[in-house]
Amino acid sequence: MSSAKFKKEFKDFDCARDFKLAHQVLCIQEFNFENESIVGYVDMLFHPLVPDLRKVKINCKQCSIHRVVVNGIWEADVSYNDPILEICQNDNKLRTFDYFQACHSAAVLAVDADSGNGELSVKLPDDFLPSILEMKPFHVMIEFSLERPQGGIKFVVPDTDGTLLDRGAHLFTCGRENSSRLWFPCIDCFSESCTWKLEFTVSMYMVAVSVGDLVETIYTSDLRRKTYHYYMSVPTAAPNIAVAVGPFEIFVDPNMHEVTHFCLPRLLPLLKHTTSFFHEVIEFYEETLSTRFPYTCYKQVFVDMAYSDIAPYASMTICSLYLLTNKRVIDQTPVTRQLLAQAVAQQFFGCFISMNSWCDAWLPKGLATYLCSHYRSKSFGNNALRYSIAKDMREVCDHEQQVGPVVLDPSVVRDVASYLPMKSPHTTSPIYSAIYEKKAHLIMRMLALKIGTVFMFQVLNKLLTLASNASKMKFSANAWSNMLISTSSFLKCISSVTGKDCGTFVEQWVHQGGVARFVGSFVFNRKRNVVEIELRQDWTAKGTMKYAGPLTIMIQELDGTFPHTFMIEENKTRFEITCHSKSRRQKKKKIPLSTNEEVEMNLDDTDPDSPVLWLRVDPEITILRHVKLEQPDFMWQYLLRYERCVTSQHEAICALEQFPTPKSRNALMTVIDDSKMFYLVRIDAAKCLTKVANAMAETWGGPPAMMSLFHKMFGSRACETIVRQNDFSNFQQYYVQKAIPVAMAGLRTVHNICPSDVSEFLLRLIEFNENSKNKFDDGYYRAALVDALAATVTPAVTPVTVTGYVPSSDCLATETKSVLEEVTLYMNMEKLLPCFHLAVTVSCLKAFSTLQLLGHLPPVPGIFKSYASEGHILSVRLAALEALVSYAATESSSEILTWLLDLVESDAEPFVRFRVIQMLTAKPPYSKRENSLMSAELQDRLWNMMNSKFAYDSRLRCAVVDLYFVLFGKSRPSIQSSEDIMYDTPFVKSEDSRGSLHGKRRNYSPSLPYEMKVPDFSSEVKVESSYQNEDENVMKLKLHIGGPGSAHSGSSRSSSPAKFPFIHQPFGGPSFSLIEEARKYPVNVPFSSSDVQQSPSYSIDSSDAVPKAAMEVIVKDDARDEDNSLELSESSHSFLSAPSSPEYDPHDFERSSSPKPQPSRKLFGSSAFPFATEPPGLRLGPSALGSSISSPMPAFVSSTSSWLPSLSSSAVSEFTGPTGSGLSEPRLSVSGNFRDKAGDLQMKPERKRKRSTSGSRPLNLSSYRASSSDSSGSSPTFHRESSPDDLI
């Protein structure tokens, strides 16, 4: 099935439902932590929009529905359908990526609330229909329960001793967008808002935190339980409803009493420090937007095992407790503040103003991040904001050029190279989602620059004002429409405020993906005093677009900075700029910069005939672009030294990597040493200097790069070679002090080893590290020193000629041994004096992994498996898991890969499961060229994960889809899974119109959507794949007949490979039975006696328990009907020509004599059935058949000494199926012994067809199951089983 038919245009709609939800009551009457269950009910108030309303579709997953009552009187009938539980339902024949994508989109659409669908369909009672005709509102009450949920709500119950209070047991809701259906029935979409009343009954020592205002708390008479009553007066969508229950400690913000913070026991001191700044965020947003906070209160809950760092809901945010920090930690503070500020911004855009549909998700995401960026600029500086914008733009450009375009609004159908659908949060890749949010912010910032920042905030103010007025209105059909935002409504608001039409901008950057890619160069024309610029667009590359519009080019001349704006057109690539300055006449001169400051420059390195110092393209990042500008190295050096724009400085640093000269080295060292430079630019310069120094290794003179700088900046005044005591009061200097040792560790000599001076320098830093008088923690600094030590290690030179060599610590070089000793010491010291988030342990684990990967330590994954297990802090687990992923990739360890996938399926922490899949996606365990770990089991397991295993966690399911795509691509893998064995392609139509196989004019299988022809019987039978299923106690093989191009075939006829039916072998049984099954497409095999004979026989070699039998389909004539059911060639060639065998003589095939002694034959090298590897080919041969058999069936033997005889039509007796309306016992037997001169049984065409009796009935093998034969070797008896057709 092609996915093209699912590419439909998603149009905006006011309401796809025949009703509107006005109010909803959610009451959870019991939270049971022991059983991980909840019990409650919902009461939903609906207003019908049409008089013929008969059904109400509601979203509800994994909940048990006990009763549905309409208006408190009538019990309603309900039906449940959730196609997302299994995306491809038994369609194993079409196991391709495109088919999964199409089915996934269709399944999500079938339960999409925006389309008026849902999993739960409530049929309104007939007695209630008169009220619907009068358009009266009605209530639907649903009683439900939920036990051991797999998603939507998370129970955290630590496995320790003590009561639930002592263990800190708690729960909270979680999930991606539109995941509220996982824990209570609702209309799970952002376009359906209503008011809410929420009631939660909990134990006395628990606290229930939810959205809205806390109205009252009612205690029971025995004071053992209490009920929290919340009311949300602001219309809110169900995805923005949440609850958290636990023994939380409560902290009311002293500077803003409307804000309350909650944390787990014994974390209150961290909570107070972490949230001490929080009131400033809300005050800044209110001042910037000129409006009040949209809710009357705000709550923050910090929980363990959070689904993500922040999860914003209406008037509430659930945060990870790992965001908590103390006043001594530097590194975590900016991260926490940015995330908490982002959560507050999403209260305005995302919770209060919601998206109209998922195609409009770019608006709330982009607006919230744009608002948060202004707080980041205020709190961390404009340079930090501009640097992050440039970084995000590089990530977006790299993703689009490598993967494909990112479309913000996919409502307009376009050809987008994406392997996952983008029109629903449940089908969007997590990788795509992360890039999507960054691009939404960049496009929103570009739009603000286009219309003006002041006008942009006026637009936001109008949106919030309209939404605030709408939230105070009483319910009506469209009363709350202004609380939803769509692309069209946003453009209308911009037009009304600014008078500008941004339709072209949206069409270019929102409705289509891609980035602009420019390649430019310039020369100075001295005679005309102009700069001739050639700027070409490359829109043929992947992920690029054809840009048409303004572009700013800024030239720094001797007399100042001059911007020039050009219109980029399709056929215009050359531009001329007249210079304002003349060529220089003095060597030094004060040059005015773009910041209006004057700096004195040494112009010795410049071109004396040119007044141009450097050139910048789009310095303000007004478009999403990738620019490759060719300039001389001295221009990049001047730009890096004197330009004040951090984004331009970063571009200059990247360009200087291509110019490893002494002048580039001096420019980089000057930047590192300049404390006035932005610290991130200095860090980039240190990294670039490492690459430049390595390229200049042969000509480098003096001490290693940056060593003298570090001694100068951080060395003791008495002795610069000894670092002074730590003083991290200057945060920018602290980050530089951390970065320089790591950059120095990357230095290499001409022999590609780290200089010994660098190793000794790093060891001295660790030895003389002193933090006793520092008021800040040095845990992250020590972790950086451990990272630097690990970076000095180079690949080990091992004696590869020695068989069985295993690296050992006794054979390490002196420098490497010192590294190992220091890392081990730090690891042990961390257990006694742990630092914040165990940062040193994380670095030590990475160092051990590096030593193993480089061959200095034996590859033993045990230490990483122990640290990756549950019970360790999240950062340590992730570091250990990353090491295991690297181990699985480098060592091709199927055991570790299986262990990681087991953890993905069973780990208690959702974020860990998700991160493991992301790690495997970023570093696959094998490449497509080197696929030593590729197996049918792996493909089968990943397919089951994304098909049905993770039906309640769409983020994890889509992450597995990413991994599957990386490993196998969009095409069907060359390997075949176990499911393919059971549901491979059976016979279907041919182009001829002669008689059918069963002698009647009926189609073989009219429901099958695929075709296949049976080729000439002159090819080799091979085992395509095998599967061992211990649960069913059977072994399954899939055999196929190759095309007619074999060495023994003289036919030139072309046909597709045919498939043999599969064989089931019970473990330990005396025989095997033939079973042909089908799930979605029942395989009807209507055999008649005159056409087809099936002849199974059995023989077991007791020495190795290998079945000496097989199943063949013997056709007596070339029979086809007008429906072209099956085409059989009238070839006189042998069924299989037998090559000579050194072990067996074809003439030994005698029915009446005992078999000759034969060696033990192990199937695929094993005495049982461990199908660990797929055999290259397996033939069927007649050797070593027992004397008690009743038919000349071949045995399973090895691929090097086996062959299959040919059977003549006269050697097969009739096969009689059930006749009339009754059932008889069909038997399979072969009479006589017919051989040719070579000892082969021949198949000869017979022109006379023997018709079956008129009362004969086609035999359906999908309804019959053959029993095992008895000890005498008699043919099996078929017993009929129930079939779905019998119920019709």
pLDDT of the residue at 118: 94
The answer on pLDDT for 1265 being more than 90 is: no
Question: How far apart, in whole angstroms, are the C-alpha atoms of residue 175 and residue 914?
Answer: 12
Which residue, 632, 624, 677, is CA-closest to 650?
677
**Residue 1047 CA: distances (Å) to CA of 376, 1044, 1050, 1053, 1200:** 74, 9, 8, 14, 16
For the residues 539-563, what does the mean pLDDT come to? 89
Q: What pLDDT sits at residue 799? A: 44
Average pLDDT over residues 437-447: 96
Interatomic CA distance for residues 1083 and 985, integer angstroms: 9
Type and span of the H or E element at 821: helix 814-832
Over residues 468-479, mean pLDDT: 87
Q: What is the mean pLDDT of residues 1192-1198?
A: 31
Residue 3 DSSP SS3:
helix
Higher-scoring residue by pLDDT: 509, 1017: 509
Residue 31 in 3-state DSSP? strand
pLDDT value for 95: 77
Residue spans of alpha helices (H) in 472-604 = 487-498, 503-509
Residues 78 and 122: beta-carbon distance below 8 Å: yes
Q: Where are the beta strands (DSSP E) in 503-597?
A: 516-525, 530-537, 549-557, 560-568, 574-578, 588-592
Mean pLDDT value across residues 155-162: 90
Q: What DSSP assignment string belongs to 126-174?
A: GGGHHHHHTT--EEEEEEEEEES-SSSEEEE--SSSS-HHHHT-EEEE-
How many whole angstroms separate alpha carbon 268 and alpha carbon 1192? 82
> Cα(666)–Cα(682) distance, rounded to whole angstroms?
13
pLDDT value at residue 760: 92
Statement: residue 1 has pLDDT above 60: no
Of 803, 821, 805, the closest CA to residue 813 belongs to 821
Would you state the pLDDT for residue 762? 94
Q: How far is CA 876 from CA 40, 571, 866, 883, in A?
A: 38, 56, 11, 11
pLDDT value, residue 1282: 35
- Tell me the pLDDT tens digit for each residue of 1049-1070: 333 333 333 333 333 333 333 2
Q: What is the percent of the chain with per-residue pLDDT over 90, rounded to a whole number?
A: 54
Over residues 76-123, the pLDDT tens digits come to: 999 999 999 999 876 666 678 888 888 899 999 999 999 899 999 999
Give tens-digit pLDDT for 1130-1170.
333 333 333 333 333 333 333 333 333 333 322 222 222 22
Q: How many residues does the chain have?
A: 1288
- For position 183, what pLDDT does the model report? 96
Q: Which residue has the higher pLDDT, 1124 or 539?
A: 539
Look at residue 565 in the predicted model and tell me its pLDDT: 92
The first and second tokens of residue 1115, run together, are 């056709």
Residue 1270 pLDDT > 50: no
Find residue 590's DSSP bridge partners.
600
Q: How confident is the model at residue 466 (pLDDT cuts 50, 70, 90)?
A: very high
Predicted confidence (pLDDT) at residue 811 exceeds the cutoff of 70: yes
Residue-level pLDDT at 1171: 28
Q: Looking at per-residue confidence, does 46 or 990 come out higher?
A: 46
Q: How confident is the model at residue 417 (pLDDT cuts 50, 70, 90)?
A: low
At which residue do the structure tokens 């910032």 appear? Answer: 445
The alpha carbon dihedral of 126, 127, 128, 131 has a sign of: positive
Mean pLDDT of 773-802: 85
Q: Give residue-wise pLDDT tens across range 1081-1095.
A: 333 333 333 333 333
Under 8 Å CB-to-CB from 20, ≥6 apart: which residues? 46, 47, 49, 192, 475, 477
Rounded Cα distance between 335 and 92, Å, is 46
Quote the pLDDT of residue 1113. 35
3-state SS, 451-506, equals HCHHHHHHHHHHHHHHHHHHHCCCCCCCCCHHHEECHHHHHHHHHHHHCCCCHHHH
Distance in angstroms (rounded) separating the CA atoms of residues 363 and 355: 7
pLDDT for 896: 93
In this model, does residue 11 exceed pLDDT 60? no
Q: Which residue from 1097, 985, 1092, 1089 is spatially nearest to 1041, judged by alpha carbons?
A: 985
Distance of alpha carbon 1130 from alpha carbon 1246, whole angstroms? 9
Tokens matching residue 825: 């010491």
Find the mean pLDDT for residues 1105-1129.
Answer: 36
Instruction: Give residue 976's pLDDT.
Output: 53
pLDDT value of position 275: 96
User: What is residue 92's DSSP assignment?
Assistant: G
What pLDDT, in 10s, does the model give residues 1215-1242?
333 333 333 333 333 333 334 444 443 4
pLDDT in tens, 1236-1260: 444 443 433 333 333 333 333 333 3
- For the residues 250-264, what does the mean pLDDT come to? 96
Q: E strand or H helix at 680, and its extent?
A: helix 679-695
Whole-number pLDDT of residue 1134: 30
- Which helix (H) or strand (E) segment is 383 a member of? helix 382-402
Task: Give SS3 for 354.
Answer: strand
Q: What is the mean pLDDT of residues 148-165?
A: 92
Calculate the average pLDDT of the chain: 77
Strands (E), 179-254: 193-203, 207-210, 213-219, 225-237, 243-246, 249-252
Q: Pull the structure tokens for residue 1158.
A: 């034969």
| Mean pLDDT for the stretch of residues 607-635 | 91
The tokens for 267 are: 């974390």
Measured CA to CA, the distance from residue 724 to residue 737 in angstroms comes to 12
* Structure tokens that stand for 171 in this block: 């729960």
Question: Residue 305 has what pLDDT?
Answer: 95
Average pLDDT score over residue span 962-967: 90
Question: What are the pLDDT digits (tens) for 899-947?
Answer: 999 999 999 999 999 999 999 999 998 765 556 567 788 888 999 999 9
* 619, burial (CB in 10 Å: exposed 0-12, middle 13-18, buried 19+): middle
β-strand pairing of 516-525 with 625-630: parallel
Per DSSP, the residues of 239-279 read GG--EEEE--EEEE-SS-TTEEEEE-TT-HHHHHHHTTTHH
Dist. CA 492–CA 499, nearest whole Å: 9
pLDDT confidence of residue 604: 83
Whether 1283 shows a pLDDT value over 70: the answer reads no
Distances in whole angstroms, Cα of residue 466 to Cα of each of 14, 460, 486, 948: 18, 10, 14, 43
